[in-house]
Amino acid sequence: MHVSHRHQASRLQLSAAGRLRHFLSTEGLSCELLTEILDTAESFLLPDGGMRREPRLAGCTVMNLFFEASTRTRTTFEVAAKKLSADVVNIDISTSSTSKGETLRDMLWNLEAMDPDIFVVRHNLSGAAHYIAEQVTPRVAVINAGDGQHAHPTQAMLDMLTLRRHAGPFSELCVAIVGDIRHSRVARSNIHALQTLGARAIHVIGPHTLMPTGIEELGVKVFTRLEEGLRDVDVVIALRIQNERMASALLPSAQEFFQLYGLTEERMQLARPGALVMHPGPINRGVEIAGELADGERSVLLQQVSYGIAVRMAVLSMTLQGQKEAG
């Protein structure tokens, strides 16, 4: 993204007072604002691992607009909204009138007429959430739940919360991201968040065919051999390999990917002692990560799911407040 586009995206996300108005990307947001998201999420966590219920969204309506299926993300947004006492409406786009020729803009007009407060948007086209944020009435906040290969900001922030709670200060962390870097919105959002929060180093590991051109410009170190990339690493984030990549010429087979880039306990011995393993889920056991590693002491996969609810509670409450202040 060019600098002018980045500044434009930042302005779109922020109110005149600098509050979070929409949450579309981790790119362009300040360290202070990302830290506020993490601090707010922490405030919802209870000592026993549960989540605090609060009436911050009482009387508000959250609409989940999922143009692309994702049971886990939609469910965690729904749970988060309900814990904040919001009314939740799930729109099944695949059976809606958009599949009958209605334009996205027409659909937004109709949904706006139902007086929602927040749209949670997941779309298979990059930039869709930004487009919707530009088009909606000023009284509606937009949260990006994943758009194409562009961004997945709440996934990145739940990963950041997991790191802060289990791995230590960002300034001391070397984080490796392994897999399909080229097509991963999770990788992009995590890289931007890690850079902004001051991570010591970021390694990206994967085959040439799954590595985007110019990725080094984001301040990461590129490795095509897993063993080299794992050295000196405190945390490894394995990305999910999509089936369509394995069916294309980009990857010979799932088995070969695991042989070259699959995480195992033996390979994790190359990382720093006690190095953690993360994954955005759902995992492909025996493809990105060995089952015993996913279920072992290094894994914080289930904690990521819990923190995802807290982070989405934080973003829902902060964007609503930003909209009120902007209005």
Q: pLDDT at position 3, please?
A: 35
For residue 88, the SS3 value is: strand
Q: pLDDT at position 324, please?
A: 81
Q: Residue for token digits 């290969």?
A: 149
Q: pLDDT tens digits, residue range 276-300? A: 999 999 999 999 999 999 999 999 9
Confidence (pTM): 0.94
Query: Do the Cβ atoms of 167 and 159 come closer than 8 Å?
Result: no
> Considering the chain, what is the average pLDDT of its residues?
92
Q: pLDDT at position 99, please?
A: 55
146: left (phi over 0), alpha (psi -120 to 50) or beta: left
> In the chain, count of helices (H) and strands (E)?
13, 9
Q: How far apart are CA 52 and CA 266, in angstroms?
A: 39
Q: Residue for token digits 């994702």?
A: 70
Q: pLDDT tens digits, residue range 125-180? A: 999 999 999 999 999 999 999 999 999 999 999 999 999 999 999 999 999 999 99
- Does 326 or 277 have the greater pLDDT score? 277
Q: pLDDT tens digits, residue range 222-242? A: 999 999 999 999 999 999 987
Q: Which domains does the chain have, with CATH numbers?
A: 3-151+306-326 (3.40.50.1370), 153-301 (3.40.50.1370)
Measured CA to CA in angstroms, residue 152 lies from 57, 116, 126, 187, 286 at distances of 23, 22, 10, 9, 25
Q: How confident is the model at residue 4 (pLDDT cuts 50, 70, 90)?
A: very low
User: Would you say residue 6 has pLDDT above 90?
Assistant: no
- Does 99 or 104 have the greater pLDDT score? 104
Q: pLDDT at position 64, please?
A: 97
For residue 317, the SS3 value is: helix
Evaluate the omega torsion of the peptide bond into residue 282 and state whether it is cis, within 30 degrees of 0: yes
Q: How far apart are CA 298 and CA 234, in angstroms?
A: 11
Q: How confident is the model at residue 95 (pLDDT cuts 50, 70, 90)?
A: low
Q: Residue 317: which of 122, 154, 138 has the closest Cα? A: 154
Q: For the chain, what is the largest distance between any 2 Cα atoms, rounded to a whole number of angstroms?
A: 56
Q: Residue 120: which of 60, 162, 37 has the closest Cα? A: 60
Helix axes 185-197, 31-44, angle to 10 degrees: 100
Q: pLDDT tens digits, residue range 32-59? A: 999 999 999 999 999 988 899 999 999 9
CB atoms within 10 A of CB 85: 14
Query: Do the Cβ atoms of 267 and 226 come closer than 8 Å?
Result: yes
Query: Do the Cβ atoms of 292 and 267 come closer than 8 Å?
Result: no
CA quadruple 43, 44, 47, 53: dihedral positive or negative?
Answer: positive
Q: How confident is the model at residue 245 (pLDDT cuts 50, 70, 90)?
A: low
